[in-house]
Amino acid sequence: MTTTTGTTTEPPPRRSLRTLLRRTSVRTRIALSVAVVSAFALGAAGLLVHTLESQRVQRIVTENTAQEIAELVRLQQQGVDPVTGRAFTSSQALLSTYLVRNVPDDDELLVGWWAGRPQERTRHAYGARLVADPALAPAVADLLPRGGTADLEQDGIGDYSVTVQPVSTASGRDAGEDPDALVIVNFLSDEEDELRSTMRTYAAVSVLLLVLIAVAAWLQAGRLLRPLRSLHASAEEIGATDLSRRLPVVGDDDIARLTSTFNDMLARLEHGFGSQRQFLDDAGHELRTPLTVLRGHLEVVDPHDADDVAQTSELLLDELDRMSRLVDELILLAKSDRPDFARLRPTPVAALLEQVHRKATGLAGRDWRLGPLPPATTEAPADEQRLTQALLQLCDNAVKHTGPGDAVTLSGEVVGDRLLLAVADTGPGVDLADRTRIFDRFGRAVVPEGDEGFGLGLSIVRAITEAHHGTARVEDAPGGGARFVLDLPLEGTTSWPVS
């Protein structure tokens, strides 16, 4: 037995209109959107014009019919029979005189109706065909004797309306006879043909206008999106190794604001990558020496000599402690660039300084003093933990540059809308040439004997101060020594949103 196998191919998935539109360019979508909206607007305008024109035609027909009836009534009341020279006593004479004297519009036919059929009429191209229409007599008979209007249709003539106005005179009529009447016929097809011709012209003009609008939208969209294309091209040229480039900002529109936002993002990325590289460079540079020391001692240690092993272990543990402190300080500096590094809250300044003073007395045997403080009600936006860390770092720095019994003073004062927190000592002070460099990473001036720091303390102080939207500086203290000042805004700043 032979079996055959076959493969069935599934039809390709149908792409929805939304999917297709998403794959088209923004320029095309803008042009299509403008064209669709314009087409809708032109269509709505055409429908409105057609409705208004149809109503106008009907209104004109009604007004013309009313005018014809009014002229007939005026002739009956004020006119004179040209045969007798007196008022009309015969409705036939009245209708005949009226038809002779009146000139109807081009799309209007006047018919004198008596004895149950049309007797006289005005001249019109459709006149003979109309009076021969078998539907006319029944329609007029239905409207007599009260009068009224009916709409009819005939091949070759089209739609037309019939208005019947009964006519009676002093002579009256026999009982059972239909009254005589003026029949006013309005040919609606002529007016409708004119309206249709107008709408065809409107449709042709609308299509042409729609094409022009689509082309104009395409060109204008291209002009408006040109900065985006330039932004895209420039962004492609910016690589991860070159984040220093910025895009030119032209104008003050949405595209310009988008470009400025993109440049700000590049600045943040550059700063973040720069901080990362600096952290790696600093860590690699500062850890190289302790690692070399560790390796050197491990290579020469005598494992059979207990004293040598003990001494080497003590030295290595000391180096590991130094490395741990270095890593902690570097991590702290790396975190200082994060938005949530400092969470600012209203903080009582005087209470904060008193608390720092109590903690500082445990650092070393110095003459710890509290200088002038702001009023107890003074509050500033601050991260209490970070600010305490910065002030204690300044106190520790003062300890390194003073001796036992020397005075170290903490103080705070409000100057305008600024809060100045200061730590002053009576040490040797800081030379003018070093006052900026000591706040840089690993920047050091005179290193006192026994100082095992890495030169990161004051850079941490500056990072915390900048996180509070302030600045850090050093100046000469009154009477000699150094006075480190944290210049902070007193109000009007808030922390970044925490991610």
- For residue 383, the enclosing domain spans 345-489
320 and 381 fall within a common domain: no
Q: CB 206: neighbour CB atoms within 10 A? A: 19
**Does residue 22 belong to any structural domain of this protein?**
no
C-alpha to C-alpha distances, 400 to 229, 396, 448, nearest whole angstrom: 59, 6, 7
pLDDT of residue 20: 59
**Does residue 361 belong to any structural domain of this protein?**
yes
**Does residue 379 belong to any structural domain of this protein?**
yes
Reading the block at residue 42, the tokens are 């032109």
The answer to whether 247 and 262 have CB atoms below 8 angstroms apart is yes
**Does residue 206 belong to any structural domain of this protein?**
no
327 and 353 fall within a common domain: no
319 and 380 fall within a common domain: no
150 and 282 fall within a common domain: no
3-state secondary structure of 474: strand
Q: Give me the CATH number covering residue 269.
A: 1.10.287
Angle at 133 between CA 128 and CA 137, to 5 degrees: 110
**Does residue 249 belong to any structural domain of this protein?**
no
Cα separation, 179 vs 165, in Å, equals: 10
**Does residue 96 belong to any structural domain of this protein?**
yes
145 and 38 fall within a common domain: yes
CA 77 to chain centre: 74
Which one of 273, 300, 335 terminates a domain?
335
Task: Tell me whether strands 407-415 and 418-425 are parallel, antiparallel or unpaired.
Answer: antiparallel
301 and 378 fall within a common domain: no
**Does residue 202 belong to any structural domain of this protein?**
no
pLDDT of residue 205: 92
369 and 308 fall within a common domain: no
Reading the block at residue 57, the tokens are 């035609």
**Does residue 321 belong to any structural domain of this protein?**
yes
pLDDT of residue 240: 55
Which one of 172, 195, 218 terminates a domain?
195
Q: Give me the CATH number covering residue 138.
A: 3.30.450
Strand partners, 485: 422, 473
265 and 302 fall within a common domain: yes
The position carrying tokens 């599934």 is 10
Angle at 225 between CA 222 and CA 230, to 5 degrees: 115
Cα separation, 226 vs 255, in Å, equals: 10
51 and 164 fall within a common domain: yes
331 and 349 fall within a common domain: no
Cα separation, 499 vs 71, in Å, equals: 88
Look at the pTM and tell me if it is higher than 0.75: no
Reading the block at residue 221, the tokens are 């969209």
Which one of 277, 301, 335 terminates a domain?
335
Q: Give me the CATH number covering residue 397.
A: 3.30.565.10
C-alpha to C-alpha distances, 388 to 349, 353, 464, nearest whole angstrom: 11, 8, 10
315 and 350 fall within a common domain: no
Q: CB 485: neighbour CB atoms within 10 A? A: 19
Domain count, the chain: 3
3-state secondary structure of 251: coil
Q: Which amino acid is it at 139?
A: A
On the question of a cis peptide bond just before residue 145, with omega within 30 degrees of 0, the verdict is yes
39 and 181 fall within a common domain: yes
- Going residue by residue through the chain, which has 499 residues, state the pLDDT in tens, using 9 for 90 and above: 444 444 455 555 555 656 655 667 788 888 888 889 999 999 999 999 888 888 888 888 888 889 988 998 898 888 888 888 888 888 888 888 888 888 888 888 999 998 888 988 888 888 888 888 888 888 888 888 788 888 888 887 888 889 999 988 655 554 456 688 999 998 887 777 888 888 899 999 999 999 999 999 888 888 877 877 777 777 777 665 567 777 777 777 777 788 888 888 878 777 777 766 766 666 665 566 567 767 776 777 778 778 877 887 887 787 677 677 667 767 776 666 677 777 888 989 999 999 989 888 888 888 888 989 999 888 899 888 888 888 988 898 888 888 888 899 999 999 888 999 999 998 888 878 777 777 776 655 555 555 555 567 788 888 888 888 899 888 888 888 889 999 999 875 444 333 3
